[in-house]
Amino acid sequence: MKQTIAIVGGGACGVASFIELFIKIHQFGLQDSIRIDWFEKEKTLGYGLAFGSEEKGHLLNTPTDLMGVYAKEPAHFTDWVADRKTRDSDLVHGEGEWNDTYTARFLYGDYLAEQADRYLAMANRTGISVCVKNTEVVDLDQDKDQYVLHDSAGGVHTANFVVLALGTPKPQNFLSFRQYEAYIPFPWPSRPLIEKISTSEHIGVLGSSLSAIDTIMTLEDNGYTGKISLFSPDG
């Protein structure tokens, strides 16, 4: 009887986990003893919350030569970008060599989606059992020697092992603010920022690091002209 490994999440961590599992299963000839159930609520694998942004101004904060999805090939993404000759587009930024460029996040999402599709096809050809389930896991229990996963549609799934690749959680700070229409708890996806905020309003941003920078770039790239105040404990 095959043992089941469940991967919960189909973003960057989910794709990386699946690829490493595929490599080990194939390397040790475990096709007949292991199957993979992969859960992702979106229809497309690879993008997740972090790399599904449609904003061209949302860039990776790490150069391409450190973003390869393969554990032993950190420069794989650099080669992928160079092969597509996207240097002159507005999706790749930097003046130096290819390995020192920074790309739009959704371009990295394209890369991850391509790698996921590639390895799913390889799994099919090599007899590795993989089932991608387009649903959201909302709860997890343990029953003796197995895990029980509950999805948002009321479905129940079991697995012997579970990999949680959940991505970045929404912050739970300032829960009392959620009653106010003008409060936006998270800058991703960017659509609520664009749809809720008029281009001339005064906006307060709690924080001044990467999420705050993404917020400002989203607003400016979409015609915002008002005042922005950033609040940070570091000043």
pLDDT at 6: 98
Give pLDDT, residue 167.
84
Residues 6+ positions from 19 with CB-CB distance below 8 Å: 69, 70, 115, 119
Asked whether 37 and 6 are in contact (CB, 8 A), the reply is yes
In the prediction, which pLDDT does 147 show?
97
Whether the ω angle into residue 189 lies within 30 degrees of 0, i.e. cis, is yes
Per CATH, the homologous superfamily of domain 3-58+104-164 is: FAD/NAD(P)-binding domain (3.50.50.60)
- How much is the pLDDT for 141? 96
Residues of the chain with CATH 3.50.50.60: 3-58+104-164
Q: Helix (H, G, I), strand (E, B), or coil: what is residue 177?
A: helix
Give Cβ neighbours of residue 18 (< 8 Å, ≥ 6 apart): 7, 36, 38, 116, 119, 130
Each residue's pLDDT tens digit in the chain (235 positions)? 899 999 999 999 999 999 999 999 999 999 999 999 999 999 999 998 888 888 888 888 888 899 999 988 989 999 998 887 665 567 888 777 878 888 888 899 999 999 999 999 999 999 999 999 999 999 999 998 899 999 999 999 999 999 999 987 777 888 899 899 889 888 877 888 888 888 888 999 998 888 888 888 888 888 899 999 999 888 6
Task: Give the sign of the dihedral formed by CA 168, CA 173, CA 175, CA 178.
Answer: negative
Q: Which residue reads 């400016």 in tokens?
A: 220
Return the pLDDT at 112: 97
Please identify which residue in the block is written with the tokens 């404990």: 233
